[in-house]
Amino acid sequence: MSLADRVLGPRIPPAELPCPLPAGIEVRRNGWIPRVGGWLMGGDRKPAGGVTLRRTIVVPEGAVPSESLLVHELVHVEQWRDPLFPLKYALQWVRHGYRGNPYEVEAYRRQREHAARTSNARTPRTP
């Protein structure tokens, strides 16, 4: 078992995911990281659906991430390209809370756009 497996939890095989991910991105299941994420989100204190740590998306134990969740987390993967992202995210979280954090606003906006695109594509055309 690798160090990443021990610390971050077992990797979900790509075939079990609802959609292919860009190369180098992995999804793992973990008991405590989504709990910390849930605490940061406030509210009902349920575990977060996903937490992104650089290029690793961490979901709760037993969870199968939806395509919509992966779209949201992939925005955070992009944001992590900025080496100062963790610090900037934390500062915005302090100033604006979870939902008002501009990094989250961006992730939720792209998630909604994706949902609108895919629901249009899947709606059968009627004469």
Contact flag: residue 58 with Zn ion (CB under 5 A): no
For Zn ion, the nearest residue by Cβ is 107
> Under rule CB under 5 A, how many of the chain's residues touch Zn ion?
2
What does R_g of the chain's alpha carbons equal in angstroms?
Answer: 16
Nearer Cβ to Zn ion (32/108): 108
Least distance between Zn ion and beta carbon 104 (Å): 5
Among candidate residues 111, 25, 17, 122, the one with its CA nearest the CA of residue 68: 111
CA distance 112 to 31: 28
* Residue 86, H or E segment: helix 85-100
Closest to Zn ion by CB, 5 vs 99, is 99
* Cβ-based nearer residue to Zn ion, 15 or 63: 63
C-alpha distance from residue 57 to each of 34, 96, 119 (Å): 10, 23, 24
Q: Which residues in 83-122 contact Zn ion (CB under 5 A)?
A: 104, 107
Binding site for Zn ion (CB under 5 A): 104, 107
